[in-house]
């Protein structure tokens, strides 16, 4: 089962819709990071506005 885990706040997302949204966002997120000279560790930013973490996809 795939899940998303935030690299900072450790929030876990397992809903299929959340995972699909993050996967769909991956290319745009990587492009945005490249423009900001930032190397992404995850596939999307954490949805918690108070957190600066990234969502990591794991199996």
pLDDT digit string, tens, across residues 16-54: 999 999 999 999 999 999 999 999 999 999 999 999 999
The pLDDT, as a whole number, for residue 59 is 84
Would you state the pLDDT for residue 39? 95
**Number of domains the chain contains:** 1
As to burial, measured by CB atoms within 10 angstroms (0-12 exposed, 13-18 middle, 19+ buried), residue 23 is middle
Taking the model in full, what pTM does it have? 0.89
- Domain range for 30: 3-58
* Three-state SS at 11: coil
Q: Are the C-beta atoms of 51 and 7 separated by less than 8 Å? A: no
Q: What pLDDT does residue 8 have? A: 97
What's the burial of 21, exposed, middle or buried (CB within 10 Å: 0-12/13-18/19+)?
middle
pLDDT for 13 beyond 90: yes
């Amino acid at each position: 089962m795939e899940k998303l885990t935030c690299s900072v706040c450790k929030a876990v997302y397992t809903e299929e819709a959340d995972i699909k949204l993050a996967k769909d966002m991956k290319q745009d997120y990587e492009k945005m990071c490249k423009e900001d000279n930032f190397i992404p560790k995850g596939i999307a930013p954490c949805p918690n506005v108070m957190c600066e973490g990234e969502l990591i996809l794991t199996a």
